[in-house]
């Protein structure tokens, strides 16, 4: 197995100001954990810069221009009360786009088996014409569109286990049956979307969890709702919005996941990817705001990707 790890120094230059939970220290904590000897076999890549065409395939030109107009020459500016930008934020967002698209390229051309993109700003709250929830561009949605546009992929699955519902990803693909979006998340919680009744074109599978839920409820939702949907859909590539803020130590929500839950769900998704899409998974960082829990959860997730042994070598069309 070849597992790619994407990063770039500019992700640390996305300055969100004192006390903001989506801070550069998040990536430093991850990088410190993944520098351990057990991760020596990771193939580390510096993210290339994405381009405006990749962004505009998903977002409006109005949003793109609005974000870059909001970029200050010094200090910080605000897209909304939660979503902060500084002088390097626009560039960081483009490099995040470049990371996920390059990962798709390398998996689709057989240069790697899976990839984890340690990027910021995150993306799954960004809608077609709206940046919100710490997110500027929707990285995972852009990756999905890139796979469809350049490789003729007919079935893309996106699995989101962030504690917050990925309203942006759902909105972008709500009427697109070629893209499956499946999410576990706490409800009620920001942004207020993600009810079971939100099904799109039959391609949206929401499994909301209640405050206080933990491993048992998470596994039940995955086993009864999300995994069966993936088996029926038979994806040709799988993307993961990897948020680690459902961890019991996270300060922004009230679920009780552990590192073992992230290892478990990663193993299960890798096995499903083996069956239908030659193991191809691109995972991209979303939330996770307790630095210690974020680092250990990411370690569990990436370790499974790195050490996974393929269980089925069937081609995506079998």
3 state DSSP class of 118? coil
- Cβ atoms within 10 Å of 228's Cβ, excluding its own: 12
Choice among 125, 146, 185, 301 that is catalytic: 125
Q: 238: which strand partners?
A: 157, 281
Alpha-carbon separation of residue 97 from 47, 101, 108, 214 (angstroms): 9, 6, 17, 32
Cα–Cα distance measured from residue 70 to residue 85, given in angstroms and rounded to the nearest whole number: 7
247 among known catalytic residues? no
Could you tell me if 46 and 277 are in contact, meaning their C-beta atoms sit under 8 angstroms apart? no
Cα–Cα distance measured from residue 249 to residue 254, given in angstroms and rounded to the nearest whole number: 9
Cα–Cα distance measured from residue 85 to residue 93, given in angstroms and rounded to the nearest whole number: 10
- Cβ atoms within 10 Å of 22's Cβ, excluding its own: 21
Cα–Cα distance measured from residue 67 to residue 48, given in angstroms and rounded to the nearest whole number: 20
* Helix, strand, coil share (%) of the chain residues, nearest 5: 40, 20, 40
Could you tell me if 70 and 130 are in contact, meaning their C-beta atoms sit under 8 angstroms apart? no
Tell me whether the omega of the peptide bond preceding residue 121 falls within 30 degrees of 0, making it cis.
yes
Which residue, chain included where needed, has tokens 């569109």? Answer: 145
Nearest to 45 by CA among 110, 94, 93, 112: 112
Residues marked as catalytic: 125
């Amino acid at each position: 197995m070849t597992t790619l790890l994407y990063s770039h120094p500019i992700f640390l230059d996305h300055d969100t100001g004192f006390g903001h939970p989506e801070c550069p220290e998040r990536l430093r904590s991850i990088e410190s954990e993944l520098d351990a000897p057990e991760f020596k076999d990771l193939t580390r890549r510096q993210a290339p810069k994405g381009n405006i065409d990749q962004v505009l395939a998903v977002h409006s030109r109005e949003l793109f221009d609005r974000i870059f107009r909001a970029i200050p020459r010094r200090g910080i500016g605000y897209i909304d009360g939660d979503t902060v930008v500084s002088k390097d934020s626009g560039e960081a967002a483009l490099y995040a786009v470049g990371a996920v698209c390059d990962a798709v390229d390398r998996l689709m051309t057989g240069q790697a088996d899976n990839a984890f993109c340690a990027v910021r700003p995150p993306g799954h709250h960004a809608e077609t014409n709206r940046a919100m929830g710490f997110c500027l561009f929707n990285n995972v949605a852009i990756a999905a569109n890139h796979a469809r546009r350049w490789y003729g992929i007919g079935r893309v699955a996106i699995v989101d286990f962030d504690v917050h519902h990925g309203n942006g990803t759902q909105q972008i693909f709500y009427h697109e049956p070629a893209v499956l979006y499946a999410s576990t998340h706490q409800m009620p919680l920001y942004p207020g979307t993600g009810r079971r009744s939100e099904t799109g074109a039959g391609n949206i599978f929401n499994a909301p969890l209640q405050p206080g839920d933990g491993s048992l409820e998470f596994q039940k939702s995955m086993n009864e709702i999300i995994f069966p949907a993936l088996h029926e859909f038979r994806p040709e590539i799988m993307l993961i919005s990897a948020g680690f803020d459902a961890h019991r130590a996270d300060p922004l929500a009230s679920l009780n996941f552990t590192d073992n839950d992230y290892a478990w769900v990663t193993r299960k998704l890798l096995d499903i990817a083996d069956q239908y899409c030659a193991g191809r998974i691109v995972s991209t960082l979303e939330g996770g705001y307790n630095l210690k829990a974020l680092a250990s959860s990411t370690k569990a997730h990436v370790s499974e990707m790195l050490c996974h042994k393929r269980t089925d070598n069937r081609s995506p069309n079998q």
